[in-house]
Amino acid sequence: MNARDARSLSAEALEVLRRRAVAAVASGVSRTEVARLFGVSRKTVGAWVAAHESMGDASFRPARRGRRPGEQLALSPAQQAWTVRTVVGNTPDDLGLPHRLWNAQAIVELVNREFRILLSPATASKYLIRWGLIEDRRALDAKRGRSASPVPRTRMQDFRGNGWIVDGAVMWLAWTRPHTPPGAKPMPVTNGQNLMSGFRDYFGEVNVLVAWSNRGVVQFQARRGSFDARQATDFVARLLAQVGRGLNIIIAGWPAQHYELIRTWPEQHGAGISVQFALG
């Protein structure tokens, strides 16, 4: 038996093996001979003995292994579906969370409260991308690097926003619709519908307003159906409150048919907001 074979044993069998090897060394058998008798390397025997000297009998119990690629995700399909349904149509403060808009930390707190599962913010971000609610960093950066807004230039020239706020935060803003991320693997089917390959069939016609900073911090709000003027304005108010200072918004993607919603923002939010368009 080599070290890899030893790791393939069950936890109970590996504990017995370690106990016997350490006991043999304690009785005076050389580590080289113990390694030969038990079919492991001399280095492995030395590590077991050192661990026992440091930790006592607790060292015999194998540490719990992390999830390997392909093993079950932290959240089951049912838990993921519940989380998406809860996020769509609610804001975090509707649910008693201390956030005005959804972000990775808000997802962490929601999942921990509901399922007693502690995700890292990085894992929560990966779930949001997996679900298609937000795009990955490369896709967001691509929006910043081109004129993603379909609003004709002639209509942009008619726009009169407030001037740039020198000490304000910069947030790029886009109106998106969830889609299946490239390369996403199908998830188990529930009632004939599939979370990843049929997002709109599963959750309805979902729209997302998403804002991200130059550092990649993402804030968003999702709902079924289009955002109306009141809801879009409320999103900006929430973004202002979340950021906590003046805000320079750069429109990086916006449906042309809803362009008029943007025109009222500078007037409604005063000098605390500046609205510009991303131009390629």
pLDDT value, residue 245: 85
Return the half-sphere exposure (C-beta side, CA atoms, 13 A cut-off) of residue 26: 11
How does pLDDT run across 93-103, given as a tens digit for each residue? 999 999 999 99
pLDDT value, residue 198: 44
pLDDT value, residue 99: 93
pLDDT value, residue 63: 60
pLDDT value, residue 193: 43
pLDDT value, residue 5: 54
pLDDT value, residue 113: 93
pLDDT value, residue 169: 87
pLDDT value, residue 94: 93
**Cβ–Cβ under 8 Å, residues 248 and 164:** yes
pLDDT value, residue 244: 85
pLDDT value, residue 147: 42
Residues 6+ apart with CB under 8 A from 128: 104, 107, 134, 218
pLDDT value, residue 211: 92
Give the number of other CB atoms < 10 A from CB of residue 244. Answer: 8
What's the predicted TM-score (pTM) here? 0.63
pLDDT value, residue 71: 39
**Cβ–Cβ under 8 Å, residues 247 and 272:** yes
pLDDT value, residue 98: 93
Q: Which residue has the tokens 């838990």?
A: 79
pLDDT value, residue 142: 67
pLDDT value, residue 64: 53
Which residue ranges of the chain lie beneath pLDDT 50? 2-4, 65-72, 147-160, 180-184, 186-198, 200-201, 280
Residues 6+ apart with CB under 8 A from 215: none
